[in-house]
Chain A
Amino acid sequence: MRQRKPVKRFLINLSLVLIFVYFSFPLFWMIWTSIKPRIYAYQPGKWLFVPTFQGYISVLNQHRINTLFWNSLIISLIATAVALFVGTLAAYGLIRFESRHNRKITLFFLIVRFIPPISLIIPLFFLGKTFGILDSKRFLILVYQILCITFTVLMMKGFLKNIPSAYEEAAMLEGCSRVKAFFLVTIPLIKNGLFATGIFLFLYTWKEFEYALFLTSFNGRTLPTAVQYFLATQGVQWNEAMAYGVMSIIPVLAIAVAFRDYMIQGLTFGLSK
């Protein structure tokens, strides 16, 4: 019974290899091009060459990549922390307290979450200009909260729903305040959910392109917008462009490898256990 036909087994293994190639080839091609000497970057058939880090070195020297990297890191970390705090409290409020408005409030967050970013850029540009915060890290962090807070509320509601309130109630009968019970009892119970949500938020803010492109010009610029430096009029310096690409995905790629399951939880809206 257990023995499979070898042909079938071969076909399944072959398709698994193809799945791997399908998803990882563009990444491979980016890394491969990034270590090619400049002239070979225009010769896809050049499979044998002495790898060089010239592209990486010139990216680090010529452009403001360093500043942009730190901007990205600061913006992502702060935006993630703020949203986790504000969003989790709101999710807790919506789960633990019964009110006829709860469903409406949740749907409100859901609808805002679905709005395409590009369709908010014109008014956000004017708002930023009016308040004089256009092109600042603060403004970008604020704008990212549109998606970050709404996502956190929806996601953390799912995790909090599975935690019985009996633990908190016991702690409160013992004399804990609700705040203390929340931090000492509830938070440890949902720390996996917080971690998965946090990873998703970091990933989103790190990759975000539209808001950063149109709402910043110098001070608030993040890594994904540096793409413009490489799309010069005299053609693209492909080995440099790809070296920049590789460097910019290293942090999230490391997270993806180290915390794969948490990342999948966030990406699938908590569906994956």
Chain B
Amino acid sequence: MRGTHREQRLLVMPAVIAILIIGVTPILLQIYISLHDYYMGVPGQSRRFVGMRNYADLLRSPSFSNSLYLTVVFTMVVTIASLILGLGMAMLIHRDFRFKTVVITSVLIPQTISPSILGLIWKLMYNAEYGIFNYFLKPFGLEQTWLGRDLAFFSTTIASIWMATSFMTLVCLAGLQNLPEDVFEAARIDGATQVQAFRYITLPLLKPVIGMAVLLQQVACLHIFGIIYILTGGGPGERTNLLAMEVYRQGLNAGFVGYGAAVATVLALLAFIISLVFIKMMGDAF
């Protein structure tokens, strides 16, 4: 019993129209704003059309290229580190042991806490005077100013890896649970070692899942804002000024709305490119 097109339109259109209004309108407005010279807080300021000038400024700005560079490094490091950690942890958890549910519930912890509160917790742990990391490192004379000039980027990356590992572990664990048992049985009978089984069976079978998880994590890295906003605010200087922070600093804080909109458009464009790769990889799954 096939439905009619009219019925389908009634079902699908509310969602499509809602997303057009609340999702697509802002994108178009964003591009429109980015083509204008627009400062907030300057009275009598006319919003002059300047074409691509904001984008030209952005390409010349050392602050922007720094942000782009940091974002690329951050995304790569967080994705790769969390994948390795997550896959390893999933392999360890994917077996029968007594406190399995306790361990799996602990993996969920980073997902349940708001980025703003995670930022607070890590800020406390990183504190140079009374943070827990320096407390443990002090006896060895290894205290660090974790959020100072030299280490701020490293420290925010570590906190983000901690968050991302949770996602990667959950996805890899789900992928492992969906693998067919009998292949491993056959491999064991044929005398394959555990390393061989991992290299020649687990990895190839998990490849589609890992590919999906990597792309989703890359997008998630572009989304990260709250934890860095609380931890460093993009500083010291511009040491942790990822693109998301640059949008905030220029467009929302300093009031260069037109320029900020241009940075935001570039950020959205990066996410768009990743989603195209994602779509290509998923093929007919949609």
Contacts and interface: CB of A to CB of B under 8 A. Distances in A.
A272 B104 contact: no
Interface in A68-102: 86-87, 89-90, 92-94, 96-99
Interface string B16-54: 101100111111011001000000000000000000000
Interface string A111-123: 1101111111111
A15 interface: yes
Given A19-B93, A123-B261, A272-B177, 17 more contacts: A13-B97, A26-B125, A44-B131, A93-B10, A96-B3, A97-B2, A114-B271, A117-B225, A118-B223, A122-B264, A150-B19, A165-B1, A208-B114, A231-B230, A238-B124, A273-B174, A273-B178
A263 interface: yes
B7 A27 contact: no
Interface residues of B, number: 102
Nearest to A200: B111
A235 B113 CA distance: 23
A59 interface: no
Given A30-B121, A120-B26, A210-B225, A172 B174 contact: no
B102 interface: yes
A238 B286 CA distance: 47
B272 interface: yes
B205 interface: no
Q: Which of B19, B25, B225 is the most central at the interface, judged by chain A CB atoms within 10 Å of its CB?
A: B19
Contacts of B261: 122-123
Interface of B: 1-5, 7-12, 14-16, 18-19, 22-27, 29-30, 33, 89, 92-93, 95, 97, 99, 101-125, 129-132, 134-135, 162, 165-167, 170-171, 173-175, 177-178, 209, 212, 216, 219, 222-223, 225-226, 229-230, 244, 247-248, 251-252, 257, 260-261, 264-265, 267-268, 271-272, 274-275, 278-279, 286
Contacts of A238: 124
Given A149-B19, A207-B115, A271-B209, A90 B244 contact: no
Contacts of A213: 116
